[in-house]
């Protein structure tokens, strides 16, 4: 029987090969093209029905396992050469039409949607049509009776075959016409839902069930994210994004980021001079008033060309990084949710090639590996013709105590105009670890997620002078291109008059 079934399908494939191989399709007139499309649609729906019924009549667990596949979806992806979305759609229809075996009699029980199953086997409806007809009713199936669902099944199956009420006949009179489109099937199903469940959900019930987040596949180097958040979760997310992206239009808050005059040879002034200026000196370096800083005077206090959407993305990235290292974060395999970036050691050393990240498909820029590696650990895995022959780990993570010290010193992202708190930042190795830079407070500075990732291309430079961070900005920001020492803003002259600057105010 099996060999006969395969022979029939092979014959269909052979006939289609002849249709595609002799160039006859190119010479068809338009009228015949329509007929070919209709015939191909009928064949396509029967092929889909063959796939669904082949899976549905097998054991849901044992059949995939017997083929060496972990799941039914994997089996479908491998045999049909389809993607995850296509396999998932077929699997959904399989669940709708599967006929379970009775434990008492051994007979097969009716399908969940028996009439639509028969319509599918007859070629009246395909996988997409089954989902269009059933999904609106499945959403409310917990609030309607089995009899109501079966009545809807019969109504939808008749509609899929082209039967409609005859306005000129009696109450039960029907007339057969063209098959409905998928949108028309969905509209009919939604109409039936309104009749079978007129009261709908309890207030707040439906939104809570619709919540969810979906990560898309990699397209052009990016992954899409879409979904629905409950109001309280959305509000919390907005607060986090606002906290990161608040422009602080009234100027740098205390403690803000300001700069002391300096050059390549002299990066900082004595603390006594700072105290004298705070006590009443009216002019700073270059004749500028002491309370004005020409290098931090952006009226938005954000020297940043990102769009609002880009800022929200980067804020979410930073929030996720903070959450991942929080002590209350659940573990995976005994460790925190670690982001694993894989790159060839030679590529990383030479700055060539591509990297890949766990959980994402496709290749990533090598800079991603350098960015992640700067704040994490590097584990070297040695291979020999596919076999793992060695594993080494280089400890390069700043400890909790080192982070606290760096946060106490710098307070905010080191880039001027960026006021992301240091506790939210990543700790950057000023001299790269791969170039011999130590994991030490004299070699670490806080950078927010975006400034850390864009440091190599943004024009900002960072160096350490006897353990004190110094910044040199791009030419558009500082035409003199001088190294400047970030420090927390001193209090205003009115507040500071008669009171020396505290050590916390002087800390660089």
Residues 353, 367: Cα–Cα separation, whole Å? 10
To the nearest 10°, report the CA torsion of 326, 328, 332, 333: 110
Q: How many angstroms from the chain centroid is the CA of residue 218?
A: 9
Average pLDDT estimate for 39-43: 95
What pLDDT shows up at residue 175? 81
Average pLDDT estimate for 370-377: 60
Residue range 329-365, pLDDT digits in tens: 666 555 556 566 677 767 766 766 666 665 544 556 6
Closest by CA position to 42, among listed 187, 179, 214: 179
Residues 309, 299: Cα–Cα separation, whole Å? 21
Closest by CA position to 197, among listed 158, 141, 155: 141
Residues 46, 52: Cα–Cα separation, whole Å? 10
Sign of dihedral through CA atoms 476, 479, 482, 486?
negative
Residue range 377-399, pLDDT digits in tens: 556 665 666 566 566 555 556 77
Average pLDDT estimate for 102-117: 91
pLDDT value at 279 more than 50: no
What pLDDT shows up at residue 152? 96
pLDDT value at 369 more than 70: no
Whose structure tokens read 């029907």?
174
Residue 414 is given by DSSP the state: S
Residue range 291-338, pLDDT digits in tens: 444 444 444 444 566 666 667 777 777 777 777 667 766 665 555 565
Q: Three-class SS of residue 451?
A: helix
φ and ψ at residue 490, rounded to 5 degrees? -80, 155
Residue range 221-237, pLDDT digits in tens: 788 888 777 665 666 67
Q: How many CB atoms lie within 10 A of CB 428?
A: 23
Quick check: 445 and 457 in contact, CB under 8 A?
Answer: no
H or E segment and range at residue 460: none
Region of poorest pLDDT, from 125-134, 274-283, 339-348, 462-471: 274-283
What pLDDT shows up at residue 39? 94
Quick check: 137 and 192 in contact, CB under 8 A?
Answer: yes
Looking at 305-391, list the stretches that DSSP marks H as alpha helix, in order from N- to C-terminal side. Answer: 308-324, 345-350, 366-375
Average pLDDT estimate for 8-25: 89
Q: What percent of the chain has pLDDT over 90?
A: 27
φ and ψ at residue 405, rounded to 5 degrees? -65, -45
- Supply the DSSP string of 294-318, one letter for each residue: TTS--TTS------HHHHHHHHHHH
Residues 95, 78: Cα–Cα separation, whole Å? 19
The vertex-495 CA angle with 493 and 501, nearest 5°, equals: 80
What pLDDT shows up at residue 102? 85
Average pLDDT estimate for 181-197: 92
Residue range 423-459, pLDDT digits in tens: 888 888 888 866 778 888 888 999 888 888 788 888 8
b or e along 238-257 (b: 16 or more beta carbons within 10 Å of the residue's beta carbon)?
eebbeebbeeeeeebeebbb
* Domain-wise residue ranges, the chain: 37-199, 228-299+306-323+410-427+445-450+461-508
pLDDT value at 2 more than 90: no
What pLDDT shows up at residue 297? 47
Mean pLDDT score of the chain, rounded to an integer? 75
In 190-246, at which residue ranges do the beta strands (DSSP E only) sit? Answer: 212-219, 222-228
């Amino acid at each position: 029987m099996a060999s006969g079934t395969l022979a029939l399908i092979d014959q269909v494939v052979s006939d289609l090969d002849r249709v595609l191989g002799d160039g006859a399709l190119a010479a068809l007139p338009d009228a015949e093209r329509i007929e070919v499309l209709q015939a191909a649609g009928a064949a396509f729906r029967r092929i889909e029905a063959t796939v669904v019924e082949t899976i549905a009549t097998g054991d849901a667990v044992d059949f995939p396992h017997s083929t060496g596949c972990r799941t039914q979806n994997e089996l479908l992806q491998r045999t049909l050469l389809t993607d995850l979305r296509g396999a998932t759609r077929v699997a959904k229809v399989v669940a709708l039409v599967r006929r379970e075996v009775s434990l008492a009699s051994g007979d097969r029980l009716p399908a969940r949607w028996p009439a639509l199953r028969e319509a599918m086997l007859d070629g009246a409806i395909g996988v997409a049509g089954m989902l269009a007809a059933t999904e609106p009713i499945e959403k409310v199936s917990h609030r309607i009776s089995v009899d109501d669902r079966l009545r809807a099944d019969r109504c939808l199956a008749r509609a899929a075959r082209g039967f409609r009420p005859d306005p000129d006949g009696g109450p039960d009179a029907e007339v057969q016409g063209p098959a409905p489109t998928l949108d028309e099937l969905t509209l009919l199903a939604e109409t039936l839902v309104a009749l079978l469940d007129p009261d709908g959900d309890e207030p707040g019930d439906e939104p809570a069930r619709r919540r969810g987040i979906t990560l898309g596949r990699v397209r052009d180097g990016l992954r899409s994210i879409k979904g629905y958040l409950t109001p309280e979760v959305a509000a919390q997310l907005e607060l986090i994004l606002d906290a990161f992206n608040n422009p602080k239009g009234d100027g740098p808050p205390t403690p803000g980021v300001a700069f002391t005059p300096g050059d390549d040879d002299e990066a900082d002034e004595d603390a006594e001079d700072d105290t004298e200026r705070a006590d009443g000196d009216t002019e700073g370096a270059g004749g500028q008033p002491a309370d004005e800083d020409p290098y931090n005077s952006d009226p938005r206090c954000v020297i940043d060309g990102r769009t609002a959407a880009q800022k929200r993305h980067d804020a979410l990235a930073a929030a996720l990084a903070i959450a991942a290292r929080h002590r209350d974060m659940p573990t995976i395999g005994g460790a925190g949710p670690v982001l694993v970036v894989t790159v060839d050691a030679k590529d990383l050393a030479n700055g060539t090639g591509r990297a890949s990240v766990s959980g994402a498909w496709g290749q990533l820029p090598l800079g991603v590996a350098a960015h992640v590696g700067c704040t994490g650990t590097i584990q070297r895995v040695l291979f020999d013709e596919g076999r793992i022959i060695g594993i080494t780990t280089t400890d390069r993570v700043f400890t909790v105590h080192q982070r606290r010290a760096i946060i106490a010193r710098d307070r905010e992202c080191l880039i001027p105009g960026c006021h992301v708190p240091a506790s939210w930042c990543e700790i950057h190795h000023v001299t790269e670890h791969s170039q011999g830079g130590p994991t030490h407070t004299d070699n670490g500075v806080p950078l927010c997620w975006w400034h850390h990732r864009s440091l190599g291309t943004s024009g900002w430079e960072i160096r350490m002078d006897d353990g004190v961070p110094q910044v040199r900005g791009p030419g558009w920001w500082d035409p003199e291109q001088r190294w400047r020492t970030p420090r927390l803003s001193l209090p205003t002259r009115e507040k500071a008059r008669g009171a020396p600057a505290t050590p916390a105010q002087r800390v660089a």
